[in-house]
Chain A
Amino acid sequence: MSDIWSMIARRLLLGLLTLFVISLIIFGATELLPGDLAQNILGQSATPETVAAFRRELGLDLPAHTRYVNWLLGALQGDFGTSLANKRPIADLIATRLSNTLFLAVYAAALSVPLSLMLGILAALWRNSIFDRAANALALTSISFPEFFVAYILIFVLAQSGLFPSMARMDPTTTFSEALYRTFLPALTLTLVVTAHMMRMTRAAIINLLASPYIEMARLKGMSPARVILKHALPNALAPIVTVVALNLAYLITGVVVVEVVFVYPGLGQLMVDSVAKRDFPVVQAVALIFAAAYVLLNLTADVLSTLSNPRLIHRK
């Protein structure tokens, strides 16, 4: 038992270290810019006085390591500094948007995970049938589609007829069921994009196992194909499936950016894209740090869960 805990503790430490280095990169990337950051943002026409004032405002007159420590300590307490574009505290800008983005991601995950597991198991069960081939071709196609194409097709088909709204507006008075209805199209877009990959990997993981001797044994003793897959193949395929699910949830984090822009959904992704265009780099850094942290956390969870689901990895010599 202590093995498991020390393994989890080691992974957690590694994850923290990764996050620390990522924060260094996210912060340090601004230092890569040749010349002066303030001058660069204000443009060549800015007078030396404005540049000097802007430098003081950004804290650029302090040495880089001091600024980094201040930034990181602030970020850990939820204080990301102020936006360059509208001078508001970044924490205020982020607060509601973060929960909106999480809501959309969880919604999409709740739709896509059961759907793709079911489709993957069915495709493995009826492999090489028409269903399997159609599901595979569809999966390959939807993997190759850009998110905004899927989104606009859905708008064209489903929002045209007035079934669902094409814009996902959210405000504090929106009730839960109302929110589910308004964000159905963005969630469906994300679902379609991730389901394909998860389904293919689930199918591959199960089919991989079907050649094992114990599956042969189960078949020979007269078990039905569905029982063979559910009772013998699925538990052993859990590790790769858990990994794929977590990786795809991590993928949702980036997919969310494009989808939020299409559906004018007030989330973190849209904030980030707006800030990139304005070169409002403190906001971009803050959002990038949040996205990266979520990404690292999900990958870490995948790692730990897949180890836990495989006794051979826990009791390794």
Chain B
Amino acid sequence: MSVLFTIFWIAVAVVAAMALGWLFRWAAVAASRGEARRALKTAPLAASFGMLVILIYVVVALFAPLIAPYAEREVVGAQFLPWDATHPLGTDNLGRDMLSRLVYGARNTVGIAFATTALAFFAGSFLGLLAAAVGGWLDQVLSRLVDILMAIPALIFSLLLLTIFGTSIVTLVLVIATIDATRVFRLARSVAQNIVVMDYIEAARLRGEGLIRLIFREILPNALAPLVAEFGLRFCFVFLAISALSFLGVGIQPPTADWGSMVRENATLITFGDVTPLLPAGAIALLTVAVNFVVDWQLHRASGLKE
């Protein structure tokens, strides 16, 4: 019976998502001009829905203090209060307002994941482009190092590093960024290797352009498209990795409101049939799905596939 019920709600959610996507696309097309308008018009419903969700998350993260009814760490009532008018989503294991923590979680979890991805990206793509541009022993050393680091499962490696360096937000960001930078390095290097053999690179070298100028002015602009798509995918991986670590209790530490640790703290409610602990987990899932939908559409557009 409950299975049928779930299927029904999934169907409702899918229809609602499609309707929202359609509305958002209509609004976005009306509000935009030129190139962007043409691209948006052909956007699939899933991608429009994805863009809408990302927009909502960004707004919630930016204006968290204005949206949240209570402060992030304020104890406002008894533990595990049910949903009512004063606390729309009840309270958590310490009696803090669930809705407020969800809202602040958007800022903390997404913010930290974004910063980590950006860090991983700058380090990984710079080293990747450098390795391809310089070649020789530098390329060999960096590539072999990355091969070795990639031979260790990411989650296991991050658990090992967190044991050694202790669990704080700074170490978390640095550890995940290092691990993900290896994946970005791989892509950046392989993309750049096809570029450095081009004639215009040869010409730039003969002109006497410096290494940094060569990387940023000649190689990077031509490698940007695959790297941007990779940024979206990397964000999903980083976001899921940080959430998983927080869920395991070794990521973002309390009392910071964070979706992964919120699931862990309130998980006992599940066994009593309360859906509340699923909300932060759902928030994580929704954002990753949304980013994936948009990246999928962008990749499709970039490759020009019609299949």
Contact = CB atoms under 8 A, between A and B. Distances in A.
A149 B6 contact: no
A287 B157 CA distance: 11
B191 interface: no
Interface in B147-188: 148-149, 151-157, 159-167
B230 to A, nearest CB: 16
Interface string A1-45: 000000000000000001001100110011011000000100000
Given A33-B165, A156-B270, A157-B6, A147 B244 contact: yes
Contacts of A265: none
A257 interface: yes
Interface in A130-155: 137, 140-141, 143-149, 152-153, 155
Contact of A22 (B151, B236, B270, B277): B151
A191 interface: no
A88 interface: no
A169 B263 CA distance: 21
Contact of A148 (B154, B263, B271, B288): B263
Contacts of A292: 151-153, 156
Contacts of A253: 153, 156
Contact of A273 (B248, B275, B291): B248
Given A145-B285, A253-B153, A292-B152, A275 B163 contact: yes
A158 B166 CA distance: 37
Q: Is the interface of B mostly helix, strand, loop or mixed?
A: helix
A158 B162 CA distance: 34
A281 B163 contact: yes
A145 B153 contact: no
Contact of A149 (B1, B3, B165, B284): B284
Contacts of B249: 273, 277
Given A166-B271, A272-B159, A279-B163, A146 B243 contact: yes
A2 to B, nearest CB: 28
A257 B3 CA distance: 27
A184 interface: no
Interface centre among B164, B277, B278 (most CB of A within 10 A): B164
A157 B2 contact: yes
Interface string A236-280: 000000000000001001100110011000000000110111011
Contacts of B273: 156, 160
Nearest to A256: B155
B159 A273 contact: yes
B267 interface: yes
Interface residues of B, number: 50
A17 to B, nearest CB: 10
A146 B267 contact: no
B292 to A, nearest CB: 5
B120 interface: no
B247 interface: yes
Contact of A146 (B154, B159, B240, B271): B240
Nearest to A151: B281
Contact of A276 (B163, B247, B260): B163
Contacts of B275: 156
17 contacts: A18-B148, A25-B149, A33-B164, A137-B46, A144-B240, A144-B289, A145-B288, A149-B263, A149-B285, A152-B267, A152-B270, A156-B270, A156-B273, A166-B270, A258-B155, A280-B163, A292-B156
Interface of B: 1-3, 6, 46, 148-149, 151-157, 159-167, 236, 240, 243-244, 247-250, 260, 263, 267, 270-271, 273, 275, 277-278, 281-282, 284-285, 288-289, 291-293, 296
Given A257-B155, A258-B247, 20 more contacts: A25-B152, A29-B161, A143-B292, A145-B285, A146-B244, A146-B281, A146-B284, A148-B281, A149-B284, A152-B263, A157-B6, A250-B153, A276-B250, A277-B249, A277-B250, A279-B166, A284-B159, A288-B157, A288-B160, A299-B151
Interface of A: 18, 21-22, 25-26, 29-30, 32-33, 40, 137, 140-141, 143-149, 152-153, 155-161, 166, 250, 253-254, 257-258, 261-262, 272-273, 275-277, 279-281, 284-285, 287-288, 291-292, 295-296, 299
